[in-house]
Amino acid sequence: MRKPALRNRARRVTAPKRALAVLATIAAGALLLTGCSGSGGGDSKTIKVAYQKFGNFIQLDKNLKKVKAEYEKAHPGMKVELVPIAAQETDYFTKLALMNKSSSTAPDVMYEDTFQVKSDVDAGYLAPLDSYIDKWDDWDQFLGNAKQAGLGDDGKTYGISMGTDTRALWYNKDLLKKAGVEVPWQPKTWDDVLDAAKAVKAKLPGVVPFNIYSGTAQGEASSMQGFEMLLYGTKDTLYDTDSKKWVTGSKGFTDSLQFIKDVYQGDLGPTPDQALDKNIGTTISSEWLPQGKLAISLDGSWQSGTWLPDGNAPWPEWNDVMGQAPMPTQDGQDPGSVSMSGGWTLAMGAKSKNKDAAWDFIALALNKENSLAYDVAASQIAVRKDVAEDPAYAEANPSFKFFSSIVPVTNFRPATADYSKISLDIQKAMEAVMTGQQSPKEAAADWDKSVVGIVGEKNTTK
């Protein structure tokens, strides 16, 4: 199995969007906190662990319950208060931010997307872990670049990677065959993807031909799994790492929005109402794909975790029915295909009253045994060398080999504190195009202006 590599990156909705949510109304803030804070800040004998429990993230809940039992057995007198936050991605980030505002509700340990690390460090939510990992023998097992997943701008480590992922095309073999598309399906260009979707539309009424996440309701799934899977398959990029400037006025940006228009205005995807439903990701994995209602979906390596025997929607036949293909570059240019990678970490809260206990929980949760259990159950690409090399990992899921094989063509989002604001404006541009409110050129032009407003013209390049 090819070993995955990670690079420094940021992820999903951060301070600006959270601030809006907090300022909306006092009542709304109170509502968001309902159910996501237990008995308050606790004391030095209780550690609070906050995490997402929603859709495909159900496996994390099972994993952390096991770790809680192990921790409490090994540390008599200590208690672990699990705080599962039942919320879609964007709402999870908002609720976690609200918890971190007060020492009475702030968690000791939190499930932290790499996308959030730098902005949450800036907000004062996370504590550095360097003094702990310097004494942690397991740290040597983490792949080199995986260690960068939780870095702040100050070079300190604030989160320990749990696993990573890649993205590609999931397709229903039976549906494509019925539509006259050759299987195994290996599209070479964007047009090949659209042609397959058109064939499904023509011959299989009632089946959604193709899904690509789009719009503000899907948050970072739209930006990363949708737009950036397109943009990084053009000759352009989002951020020039050499000059450290954001790229505006790019043809690739407009072309990517044109692809979104072709899908949604061409009736090749879900209806805009369906696409803007916050729960569409869960609907796709637990209903549309297993029930043969969706032919092709641009989605992540974790998808099959939902269908495993202990997953959220067990589907014994999934490996016989579903195939995977790399997402091609726009015109088939080198390297031929494209992917995006992200990942999650466990991080320590800056307001924790017992940081040593919080670290002990993190170290236990991410030892080899528990990392292996989590990576298998959640269909993650392993970031520990000993897990990646374990036969039990390689044999656990037949899709692991494919999704690990596309690591060499994967990309990572810009690791800057500004990314979250720019990502939100990408989602707005996508939504304007998918709903027909703007043309791709108009939406791209507005995005260019918004980027200049966020980072300043001197920090952009054409």
Q: Of the ranges 23-32, 216-225, 259-268, 386-395, which one carries the lowest mean pLDDT score?
A: 23-32
Q: Is the peptide bond before 440 cis (omega within 30 degrees of 0)?
A: no
> How many Å apart are CA 120 and CA 159, to the nearest integer?
11
pLDDT at 19: 40
> How many Å apart are CA 139 and CA 110, to the nearest integer?
19
Cα 317 to chain center, whole Å? 26
- Note the pLDDT tens digit of each residue in 298-332: 999 999 988 988 888 999 999 999 999 999 999 99
Per DSSP, the three-state class of 376 is: helix
pLDDT at 3: 37
CA nearest to 6, candidates 407, 315, 366: 407
DSSP label at 315? Answer: -
pLDDT above 80 (res 277) = yes
pLDDT above 60 (res 390) = yes
- Note the pLDDT tens digit of each residue in 323-345: 999 999 999 999 999 999 988 99
pLDDT at 116: 84
* One fold for 15-165+343-411 and 167-340: yes
270 near 208, Cβ under 8 Å?
A: yes
> How many Å apart are CA 163 and CA 184, to the nearest integer?
29
> How many Å apart are CA 449 and CA 207, to the nearest integer?
38
pLDDT at 235: 94
Average of pLDDT values for 445-449? 98
For the chain, percent of residues with pLDDT exceeding 70: 90
Per-range mean pLDDT, top range of 36-50, 140-154, 350-364, 406-420: 350-364
pLDDT at 30: 37
CATH 3.40.1640.10 fits 167-340, yes or no: no
DSSP label at 366? Answer: T
> What is the Cα Rg of the chain in Å?
21
297 near 211, Cβ under 8 Å?
A: yes
Could you say which of 3.40.1350.10, 3.40.640.10, 3.40.190.10, 2.40.37.20 is the CATH number of the domain covering 15-165+343-411? 3.40.190.10
Residue 25: pLDDT band by 50, 70, 90 thresholds?
very low
pLDDT at 39: 39
Average of pLDDT values for 110-125? 91
- Note the pLDDT tens digit of each residue in 69-94: 999 999 999 999 999 999 877 789 89
- Measured CA to CA in angstroms, residue 169 lies from 59, 107, 177 at distances of 23, 37, 16
Per-range mean pLDDT, top range of 91-100, 330-339, 392-401: 330-339
List the chain domain ranges.
15-165+343-411, 167-340
CA nearest to 224, candidates 419, 413, 52: 413
pLDDT above 90 (res 12) = no
CA nearest to 159, candidates 149, 169, 168: 149
35: Cβ contacts below 8 Å, ≥ 6 apart: 85, 86
- Note the pLDDT tens digit of each residue in 126-153: 999 999 999 999 999 998 778 888 999 8
9: Cβ contacts below 8 Å, ≥ 6 apart: 114, 115, 149, 341, 342, 412, 413, 414, 415
CA nearest to 137, candidates 368, 355, 405, 304: 368
pLDDT above 60 (res 7) = no
> How many Å apart are CA 416 and CA 230, to the nearest integer?
21
User: What phi-psi label fits residue 336: left (phi over 0), alpha (psi between -120 and 50 degrees) or beta?
Assistant: left
Q: Which has more confidence, 32 or 428?
A: 428
pLDDT above 80 (res 24) = no
- Residue 295: φ, ψ to 5°: -85, -45
Residue 42: pLDDT band by 50, 70, 90 thresholds?
low
> Average model confidence (pLDDT) for the chain?
89
Q: Which amino acid, residue 344?
A: W
- Measured CA to CA in angstroms, residue 205 lies from 170, 178, 268 at distances of 20, 12, 11
Instruction: Give pairs for 147-151: CB < 8 Å, separation 24+.
Output: 148/6, 148/7, 148/8, 149/6, 149/8, 149/9, 149/114, 149/117, 149/343, 149/345, 149/383, 150/112, 150/114, 150/117, 150/345, 150/347, 151/8, 151/117
> How many Å apart are CA 103 and CA 350, to the nearest integer?
9
pLDDT at 312: 83
pLDDT above 60 (res 10) = no
pLDDT above 60 (res 33) = no
pLDDT above 50 (res 34) = no
pTM greater than 0.85: no
> How many Å apart are CA 1 and CA 391, to the nearest integer?
10
Distance in Å from the first CA to the final CA of the chain: 39
